[in-house]
Structure 1
Amino acid sequence: MSLNQIIDELEQLDDDAPLPRDIIILPPDNANADITDEDSGDEEFVTLNNLPGSQLRAHAEIKYMCSDSEEDSVPLSSLAKRSRTTEEPLIVEGRQPEPSTSNSAPVISSTSAVPFVDPTLPKNQNYTRRNRHNPHDRPQWQENHGPRHLQTPMYYFDCMFDDCVIKLLVKYTNIYGIQKNKVGNVTTSEMKCFLAILLYSGYTVVPRRYMYWEKSTDSDFSIIYNAMSMDRFTFMMTHLHCCDNAHITTESDKFAKLRPLFDILNEIFLNMAPLEEIYSIDEAMVPYYGGHSCKQFIRGKPIRWGYKFWVGATRLGYVLWFDSYQGHAAIIPPAYRQLGMGAGVILRFADYLQFRHPGAPCHLFFDNFFSSIPLFHELSNRELKATGTIREDRTKKGPLPSNKEFKKTERGTFKYKSSQPGHILVCKWNDNSVVSVASNLENIEPLH
């Protein structure tokens, strides 16, 4: 078949027909001749309009991956005829997604050593819908049942607050004390003792701090006043710092004074966390009742006042990555701004995962604050699995009934559409309320 015939057959395929894995164009007859009819266009931007006639007339083959994992050359004419005469399309098994490529240089964040990857999606991506969903076969997760040696709690604490963290706190606490004309000479052992008192005070709470140093019979905290005096603890409490205030370079970052500590902890979490398949990204509240421009109030939450953090964690709640929420001043790589702030959070966490474990087929779960069709498409290009609830106005105007109409249906009713490209499934069903879920992995059948 010639290339022109292949193009005509591809345009006549239905949405349910499988896409070809490879299109092989054989060399033209006069490829090695002295005089050829080569194209006259730009060599770097070849289009169909300036291809030579010999190449357009050359024979071509299309290869599909069949269910028995063998490569078969399927005649395109018979495939197109089959798709037009039968309602059941050819199910192509075992097809692997092509790795995403980008010619742009990676963007390096000013607050992290992990490179950010430019999205492979065009700015205005158009999606088509169909009723049948044939998801791509994502790489399967290989369970690692290696030996797990349980250690003491002190061992795990030292893994998180290692010498780098302790030295960071000691260094800048002493610098801040000198700037205030107070030489503290804080040592690493004192800093560890200071952190231990803070942890202990979180489990045994008293109305006032100085009560930890009382020696009365009803409030005996000998483990504290024998370890450190109250004056020394007060000095460290008032001078504790994570950076040098005289050399803060990022004025737009509202957490610039804590950013060095955040970066070190994220690096430790990335190196120490066990590799798992399932990860969850959501918001977490840190209680705080003082005054700060980043303090949030979220009605209906267990912690209503405080700082909001984006947290990527394992299924057991182990924190792998976190970052502070700063509203419009949030740190978003320029490459991710076109996808929105919520999608930028997911992609930054995906960058961390793939930087630490390249090629691992992880599965990300998130709620409708982050979800969008372009986000699922971008994660598919990165060979990452993703599932999450999605808002009605973020389905790229999918041909599903509105939530107002869907509430009138019988409970248990569901409808779904599959988008092209990306093989992104959007399902809506009527439960106590209308729920919409999108996924680039899961399928509707079998129902259970």
Structure 2
Amino acid sequence: MPTLISEPTEEVLTPSEYFNRYFTEEIYELFAFNTNVYYQSSFNKQLNPPVTATEIKKFFGINGILGCIRYPRIKMVWMQRFRLSCIAEAMARERFFLLRVNLHIVDKGSVSPEIQTQNKLWLVQPLIDAVRGRCLQIPRDQSHFSIDEQMVPFLGKRPVRQFVKGKPRPVGLKNYVVTSSKGLVLDFELHQGDTTPLSDRSLGLGPAIVLRLINTLPRGSFVYFDRYFTTIPLLEKMLTLGIEGTGTIITNRFKGYQFPKDSSMNRGDYHEVVNNKKDICVIKWKDSKTVLTCSTAIGALPLHKVQRYDKVTKSYIEVICPDMIKNYNEHMGGVDVSDQMMEVYRSWHKTRKCPIKLIMHLFDLAMVNSWYEYRQS
């Protein structure tokens, strides 16, 4: 697995130069070589002409353009009436679909059955390592980070396919991501069920994901996550690692904390409880609904006033908001920002082949991250 390497400050590059750090020449060569191998093994003849690294670059470039210009059908790009010269002159239609059907980055015959059983994503592992390796090289020069689930849209049949209620794309592969509060992806771990590579599962799956992702963050960082991950033992463990945690939490995940009933609280009311060690604070706050948050770094004070819409008066009113809630709302949305950017320019492939979907998701992730790196440099 790639290791964390922080790069020194350097000159500003172009977005494409940043992108080339995710999709390197070696990756294009791997795609070209293994696509040729797969075609030959499938049809007992060589692909003529053979796929080259330059052709693979054109293939991904076409997909990037198609993500910006949404045609109802990809084939329309080559039709006389709707023709896009930048695509049609770069690659013939039949060649494009031939590459899409046969695209491979791994030689199936070179991977042992044991690895195929242990790693459900082995068909895309070299690309996962390359993209994640570049994410790990991004300097952690900010202090606030967010952890959340990200979905890779996929409707085909696959053991790793998940359904996550409440997501804009609820069906697909689940990807656990840590980002800066602005949306720059810094590390990720794709969900593989029981074979997901997590070193410490003693506190449960959610906490195990957090502990895995904060390994690449510097001591003193502030990390935000939602109730899927948050437990009191997780926050205690993070304190021993020098990482501060803040997250929403489910009521049944902590004991010994007494809070007033929802019906007895008015909008803007809050109740704060601190544990015996005085290192974890839990707050119950009522907005339109009540929410429970806990933190090792932030308490209720100072209080803030936030604008909220009142359905009774049909106007905006000021509501008292604890500092913990305000900080959580400001810094938790990094993964959602990245998702939003990827959704706008997503490279759509109507296919039930899981590797193709994952390859294009990693391509989109690299594109968005490259743009963020350029904007922040």
Q: Hey, what's the Cα distance between the residues in 2 that align with 1:113 and 1:320?
A: 13
Q: Does structure 1 residue 212 correspond to structure 2 residue 77?
A: yes
Determine the C-alpha separation between the residues in 2 that align with 1:307 and 1:155: 29
Pairing partner for 2:61 from 170, 191, 196: 196
Change (3 A) 1:251 1:147: closer
| CA distance in 1 between partners of 2:134 and 2:37 (Å) | 25
Question: Over residues 137-186 of structure 1, what are the superposed CA-to-partner deviations in whole Å (9 max), with x where a residue is unaligned?
Answer: xxxxxxxxx98854322222212212232233223222222322242332
Show the 5 A alignment for 1:275-286: 275-286=141-152
For the 8 Å contact 1:332–1:341, the answer to whether it is kept is: no
Question: Given the alignment, which residue of 259, 268, 273 partners 1:401?
Answer: 259
**1:206 deviation in Å?**
2.4
Give % identity: 30
Q: Report runs of 4+ in structure 1 exceeding 6 Å deviation.
A: none
1:312, distance to aligned residue in structure 2 (A): 1.1
Indicate the residue corresponding to 1:381 in structure 2: 240
How is 1:251-270 mapped onto 2 (pairs within 5 angstroms)? 251-270=117-136
2:291 corresponds to which residue?
435
**Aligned in 2, Cα 1:113/1:163: closer, same or farther, shift over 3 Å?**
same
Aligned with 1:417 (options 261, 265, 273): 273
Q: Which amino acid aligns with 1:363?
A: F
Once the two structures are superposed, residues 334-361 of structure 1 have per-residue CA deviations (whole angstroms, 9 ceiling, x without a partner) of: x4211111111111111122xxxxx442
Question: Superposed, which structure 2 residues align to 1:12-27 within 5 Å?
Answer: none
1:169 aligns with 2:31: yes
1:323 to 185, 189, 199: 189
Structure 1 residue runs of 5 or longer lacking an equivalent are 1-111, 116-145, 354-358
Q: 1:158 aligns with which of 9, 12, 20?
A: 20
Tell me how far apart the structure 2 counterparts of residues 148 and 260 of structure 1 sit (CA, whole Å): 27
Q: Which residue of 1 aligns with 2:345?
A: none
Deviation for aligned residue 1:280 = 0.8
Larger RCO, structures 1/2 (Cα 8 Å, 6+ apart):
2
Change (3 A) 1:191 1:363: same
Amino acid at match of 1:243: V
Answer whether contact 2:223 2:245 (CA < 8 A) is retained.
Answer: yes
- Which SS does the other structure have where 1:220 is aligned? coil
> Which residue in the other structure is 2:101 paired with?
238
Q: Tell me, in whole angstroms, the C-alpha distance in 2 between the residues paired with 1:278 and 1:321.
A: 14
Relative to the length of structure 2, the TM-score reads 0.71
Aligned partners of 1:369 and 1:407: how far apart in 2? 25
Runs of 5+ unmatched residues, structure 2? 305-377
| Cα distance between partner residues in 1 of 2:297 and 2:166 | 32
Mapped to 2, the partners of 1:207 and 1:287 lie a distance apart of: 18
TM-score by length of 1: 0.61
Are the counterparts in 2 of residues 407 and 433 from structure 1 also a CA contact under 8 Å? Answer: no
Of the three residues 204, 211, 217, the one matched with 1:340 is 204
Partner of 1:13: none
**Which residue of the partner structure matches residue 158 of structure 2?**
292
| Matched residue, 2:177 | 311
Instruction: Name the SS for the 1:206 alignment partner.
Output: coil
Q: Amino acid of the residue matched to residue 228 of structure 1?
A: M
Q: Which amino acid aligns with 2:235?
A: F
Amino acid at match of 2:279: H
1:257-283 alpha-carbon deviations (Å, 9 max, x no partner): 122211221111111355321111111
The alignment partner of 1:426 has SS state of: strand
- Aligned to 2:151, the other structure's residue is in SS state strand
Max Rg structure: 1
Letter in 2 for 1:302: P
In 2, Cα distance between equivalents of 1:169 and 1:160? 14
1:420 CA displacement? 4.3
Counterpart amino acid of residue 388 in structure 1: G
8 Å CA contact retained: 1:400, 1:415: no
Number of aligned positions between the proteins: 295
Partners in 1 of 2:10 and 2:181 — Cα distance?
A: 18
User: Is the contact between residue 270 and residue 320 of structure 1 (CA under 8 Å) also seen in structure 2?
Assistant: yes
**Equivalent residue of 1:338, what SS?**
coil
Does the Cα contact within 8 Å between 2:219 and 2:241 map onto a contact in 1? no
Query: Contact 1:389–1:437 at 8 Å: present in 2 too?
Result: yes
Determine the structure 1 residue equivalent to 2:167.
301
